[in-house]
Structure 1
């Protein structure tokens, strides 16, 4: 049976936030909460309202199942694509061109 574990939920939030290279302060601002509350959620020391959960899910592009229970194989590819796009959006034009060249080399090598 699946149960709600605040510590695991907090770990999933922290992992996703860090993967997106977002500070706790920016995360708190983007979901309309104070940084201390977000830190408490990430440590599993505070629960959250449905409104907060939905804000987190929307911002981190996670389904409620994935956030709360760690379940969601359907969106894994979508989420990985979002992480790649997010990383590329933070790059300079030259870095994006270099990343594309590396990706082409990688794809050629594995065929």
Structure 2
């Protein structure tokens, strides 16, 4: 006997809240998000209030602009199910913040992360031994 998976409906209000939260976390105005998404500010407001849905094209763009997975936008599920909840949120926040950086800025952040890992993380591991 095969169990049937429960099919849920998309909750556009909750999806809109997640979009707004990510946009605000990135300190991005509705106008800025609208410009980057190539839509009107009114559409962004309607999306954030759950009054409108997003096309597949706009979902794909939103995931890139906001630095989160489509699963997170649509269902609130972070992309990596194996992480603890605080780690998931931190990962989403870091990736979201980096999503507004250009390539040059990302290279600098990569260098900072490597130096941090070499200097702090590796030293913590040495002190535990």
Q: How high is the TM-score relative to the length of structure 2?
A: 0.61
Shift in Å at residue 24 of structure 1?
A: 0.3
Matches within 5 A, 1:1-111: 1=6, 2-72=8-78, 74=80, 76=88, 77-83=90-96
For 1:10 and 1:32, how far apart are their aligned partners in 2?
A: 18
Q: What CA distance in whole angstroms lies between the structure 1 residues aligned with 2:97 and 2:52?
A: 30
Equivalent residues, number: 92
- Tell me how far apart the structure 1 counterparts of residues 58 and 22 of structure 2 sit (CA, whole Å): 16
Query: Structure 2: how far apart are the matches of 1:86 and 1:62?
Result: 9
Q: Is the 8 A contact 2:71 2:77 kept in 1?
A: yes
Larger radius of gyration: 2
Q: Which consecutive residues of structure 1, in runs of 5 or more, have no partner in the other structure?
A: 90-103, 105-111
Cα gap change, 1:74/1:50 in structure 2, threshold over 3 Å: closer, same or farther? same
**Structure 2: where are the runs of 5+ without partners?**
1-5, 82-87, 106-119, 121-129
Q: Following TM superposition, by how much is the alpha carbon of 1:54 offset from its aligned partner in structure 2, in angstroms? A: 0.8
Task: Pick 1 or 2: higher relative contact order, CA cutoff 8 A, min separation 6.
Answer: 1
